[in-house]
Structure 1
Amino acid sequence: MTAVAHVKQEFLGLERSIVVDDGLQDVRPFNRVLESMIPKESAEHRAERHEGVRRDLDGGLVGHGTSLRECRRIPRTVFFGPSRRLRAMSTRVLAFEAWDAGSHRAVRRSIEHHGTMGWHFLTLPGRSPKWRLRHAALRFSELVRDGMGGGGEPPFPLLDADAIVATGMLSASDLRATLPRPLRDRPLILSMHENQIAYPTSDGGKAVDRDRDAHLAFTNLASIEAADRVVWNSRWNLESFVTGMRNILSHAPEPLGGRWEDRLRDRSVVVPPPVEFDEVEDATVLHNNGEDSYSGEDGRPDDLIRVAWPHRWEHDKGCDEFLRLADEAWRREQDGGPAIRWVILGQPRQTVPDALKTLLERHDSRVEQAASLPRRDYLQRLAACDWVLSTATHEFFGLAVAEALIAGCRPWLPDRLSYPELVPTDAIGLDPWSDPGWNATDERKPTTPEAESLQARIRARLEPARAANAVKRLETIVQASIDAAVDETNS
């Protein structure tokens, strides 16, 4: 088992990664390797480094099993070193990410990149979700206590945190109860990336499993009660939790009353997750400049309509509906309709849903891509598509769909879940057969003023999710929570 210490010291112009053996007993040889990598610094930089406290491991050591005690035993040169952007920071945020994978990891990285506060992330790998919800808080508290020990080194500056941020993949009530006492009164901001009520169970789930999932929903509710502020990534996420919780509580042996909902709404705010517009736009520019373009034998772009389906290969992403639409597209093509080709960009799973298996077999010649791709290739392939299709029956925001819309894809979206929040009302229910002037063209541009206007309005609707904007909004909420706590203490 290994972990990667990501050494990033922007003011020294150094960025390296080192593999560390988790079983390392004597860190002195490792220290010498690290010291040899780091150029000599000036007295000014040294003073700034010892004053600054930003942990920049990219989730590596703690996220993959190494304890904070081992972090403490490695020289602070590795883990602390303010960049130009960070040196002026005064607000410190201790953040807990219990599911450091997929969109959770993307959000964390955006916060680290765009944040202006001092963010210190402790992470765990994205696996065993039910265990994470009940176990991660205790594990994090243990790691925090491990990181506070002596040994002659300056203690890991966890107790200097001005605020705590935790995602909904842990029990925030357990976290608040078990953290060292100095951290328990810090403002706690809960980020609800998803909720366990609207999260679907597997097909054919047993009643005992559904009952167990209700316990996970109560974990969410207890976390919300323990938090000072709750950040939801969509209105749908918030409302689906409230509606589902009402239903669950209606079966409780004693009524809880309605004040839980009042408290939830009073402390809740909707902030979209950060979407890296620049990354998507760069891929679109590369496509428009000729990379990864589709053309016929004469070198001109072909007249096929390419539709991206950017979902995980799981039952909750509507594989049955996807198969039905693929069948309908082939029938219409045979009758003289547009020729649609499918670009399946989602993450495959070990067990592929039967409907998706059938689609891949029945429409093999019309599927141009059916595998996960490296990030850069994924975005370029997305930029080469004309439409983005969602058939999901579960979605709390729709990060992949948002990226596709930014890349210039037309929306083929259902009137459900979070999608009405992503696009204007008149962009819901469109498809290649009821095209409002967005026919495939050589330049993949809208062909009518109405379509061009709609594309501009979609982009404006997504602007709050631009990474810099979303992270700034999150930090505003964190700062307001800190200020409120100070005012309460002084009153």
Structure 2
Amino acid sequence: MKFLFLESYYSGSHARFADGLKAASSHTIDLVTLPGENWQWRMMGSALYLARKKLRLSDYNGLIVTDLFNLADFLALTGTRHPPVMVYFHENQLTYPPPPGDKNAALLGMVNISTALAADSVAFNSTFHMNGFLDAVSTFLDQRPDCRPGRVSAKIAQKSMVLYPAIDAPPAGAAAHGRKTPPLIIWNHRWSYDKKPALFFTALQSLIDQGLDFRVALLGENTGKTPPEFASARDRLGNHLVHAGYAPSRAEYHRWLKRGAITVSTAIQENFGLSMAEAVAHGCLPLAPHALSYPEILPADAWEYCLYKGKKALVAKLARLTTGHETLVPLRRELAAAMGRFTWENRIAEFDRTLEALAGKKIS
């Protein structure tokens, strides 16, 4: 079968997902992309731009878009017969905590709602994400002043599903599990307020105050306003800090993950946790909130060591992993193996079945 994938924000995890699906699928997937910049304008304007392209939609068995796209506008503007459409939600603007002063949250949330309503199938990257979005749709619309549409969340739920994404992982059994002394603590998230870096640096300061030996690598993208904690990281961490900045290549990024002993998340927003899952697959022990998607993607027998509730537990468990990481090699191996279920090799069959089911829907 033949599918058209319109990726309006071709960068980072969005680009890797699109490229990975195209490469792994048994079907033909043609990619049409726009640069991964100006994400709010992509949500509002990319449909108008792409609708003017000669895309020959009727040549395809199905159309794939993601959440940073206004599908309702696109279908209205193309005005021709179009194949059934699946929208894949990497994130959404209803549950994402808006930065202070952002006045576009309501508008962008409505784009997500109309896109989900216009699609034939709606896929989310975790159960946590799907349930959070569906709940938020009802809450959001109930807060509008008048003319509130009914049963919108229920209509979206009827065509919704969970499709876990794929991660970049080493071959089975190839994760690094040897001695890692002093332990290297990995931060591999966006340098953004929603990842709550202040809490992470507070936990590191506690390790320093306890006289514990460790090293830190600050990875991840910095695409917006840098939280002040990163600007002062060198002064605060001194010789503990061995790297600060985005890895210029995936190969170098993976080398850092293999060197790591522990990967930490202090996020207040995370729909799947690709960066954590990839670090674990490469041999890091995770420490993450007992919330968001983390209980869903990490095995339950690891929660005692790897999930925390509150600042006090974060500090205590990070100290525990820092001093005892070498005794936890069996857990590290177990977790790395568990992440194998998120490789394209193991994910693609479900994606292909979903695309085949999409193609079986009536062409509009």
State the Cα distance separating 1:322 from its structure 2 match: 1.4
Q: 1:255 to 1:239 in 2, by over 3 A?
A: farther
State the Cα distance separating 1:255 from its structure 2 match: 5.7
Question: Once the two structures are aligned, what percentage of the paired residues are identical?
Answer: 24
Q: For 1:453 and 1:309, locate their aligned partners in 2 and report how far apart those are by CA, in whole Å.
A: 20
Q: For 1:302 and 1:469, locate their aligned partners in 2 and report how far apart those are by CA, in whole Å.
A: 30
1:306-351 CA distances to partner (integer Å, 9 max, x unpaired)?
1100011122211110121111110112xxxx31211111123464
State the Cα distance separating 1:200 from its structure 2 match: 2.6
1:276 to 168, 177, 181: 168
Q: 1:225 to 1:350 in 2, by over 3 A?
A: closer
Number of residue-to-residue matches in the alignment: 352
Q: 1:252 to 1:365 in 2, by over 3 A?
A: same
1:360 corresponds to: 234
Residues 1:428 and 2:307 are matched in the alignment = yes
2:272 to 383, 397, 401: 397
Q: For 2:172 and 2:105, locate their aligned partners in 1 and report how far apart those are by CA, in whole Å.
A: 36
State the Cα distance separating 1:416 from its structure 2 match: 2.0
2:81 corresponds to: 182
1:165-224 CA distances to partner (integer Å, 9 max, x unpaired)?
1111101111222225122xx11111111101122322x32xxx34x2111101100011
Q: 1:453 to 1:317 in 2, by over 3 A?
A: closer
1:394-426 CA distances to partner (integer Å, 9 max, x unpaired)?
222111111001011111111122211220232
Aligned amino acid, residue 396 of structure 1: N
1:42 corresponds to: none
Q: Is the 8 A contact 1:280 1:403 kept in 2?
A: no
2:218 to 344, 348, 355: 344
2:206 corresponds to: 328
State the Cα distance separating 1:303 from its structure 2 match: 3.0
Residues 1:104 and 2:1 are matched in the alignment = no
Q: For 1:109 and 1:127, locate their aligned partners in 2 and report how far apart those are by CA, in whole Å.
A: 18
Helix, strand or coil for the counterpart of 1:277? coil
Q: 1:446 to 1:124 in 2, by over 3 A?
A: same
Residues 1:483 and 2:352 are matched in the alignment = no
Aligned amino acid, residue 446 of structure 1: L
Q: For 1:273 and 1:173, locate their aligned partners in 2 and report how far apart those are by CA, in whole Å.
A: 24
2:26 to 100, 111, 116: 116
CA RMSD, 1 decimal? 2.5
Q: 1:357 to 1:479 in 2, by over 3 A?
A: same
Q: For 2:158 and 2:222, locate their aligned partners in 1 and report how far apart those are by CA, in whole Å.
A: 40
Written as runs of structure 1 = structure 2, the 5 A alignment for 1:185-334 is: 186-202=83-99, 204-205=100-101, 209-210=102-103, 212-254=104-146, 256=148, 258-278=150-170, 284=175, 303-333=181-211
Q: Is the 8 A contact 2:180 2:259 kept in 1?
A: no
2:71 to 149, 165, 172: 172
Helix, strand or coil for the counterpart of 1:97? strand
Deviating runs (4+, > 4 A) in structure 1?
279-282
Q: For 2:332 and 2:239, locate their aligned partners in 1 and report how far apart those are by CA, in whole Å.
A: 33
Q: 1:136 to 1:126 in 2, by over 3 A?
A: same
Aligned amino acid, residue 274 of structure 1: A
1:446 to 325, 328, 331: 328
Of structures 1 and 2, the one scoring higher in RCO (CA 8 A, sep 6+) is: 2
State the Cα distance separating 1:124 from its structure 2 match: 0.3
Which ranges in structure 2 are unaligned for 5 or more consecutive residues?
309-313
Normalised to the residue count of structure 2, the TM-score between the two structures is 0.89
1:76-129 CA distances to partner (integer Å, 9 max, x unpaired)?
xxxxxxxxxxxxxxx000110000000000101111211110101110001111
Which ranges in structure 1 are unaligned for 5 or more consecutive residues?
1-90, 149-157, 289-300
Aligned amino acid, residue 232 of structure 1: F
State the Cα distance separating 1:273 from its structure 2 match: 1.0
Helix, strand or coil for the counterpart of 2:8? strand
Aligned amino acid, residue 111 of structure 1: L
Helix, strand or coil for the counterpart of 2:37? coil
Q: 1:358 to 1:339 in 2, by over 3 A?
A: same
Q: Is the 8 A contact 1:422 1:458 kept in 2?
A: no
Q: For 1:380 and 1:454, locate their aligned partners in 2 and report how far apart those are by CA, in whole Å.
A: 17
Written as runs of structure 1 = structure 2, the 5 A alignment for 1:66-145 is: 91-143=1-53, 145=54
1:15-53 CA distances to partner (integer Å, 9 max, x unpaired)?
xxxxxxxxxxxxxxxxxxxxxxxxxxxxxxxxxxxxxxx
Helix, strand or coil for the counterpart of 1:122? strand
Normalised to the residue count of structure 1, the TM-score between the two structures is 0.67
Aligned amino acid, residue 81 of structure 2: P
Q: For 2:70 and 2:204, locate their aligned partners in 1 and report how far apart those are by CA, in whole Å.
A: 42
Helix, strand or coil for the counterpart of 1:181? coil
State the Cα distance separating 1:381 from its structure 2 match: 1.2
Q: For 1:352 and 1:162, locate their aligned partners in 2 and report how far apart those are by CA, in whole Å.
A: 43
Q: Is the 8 A contact 2:4 2:29 kept in 1?
A: yes
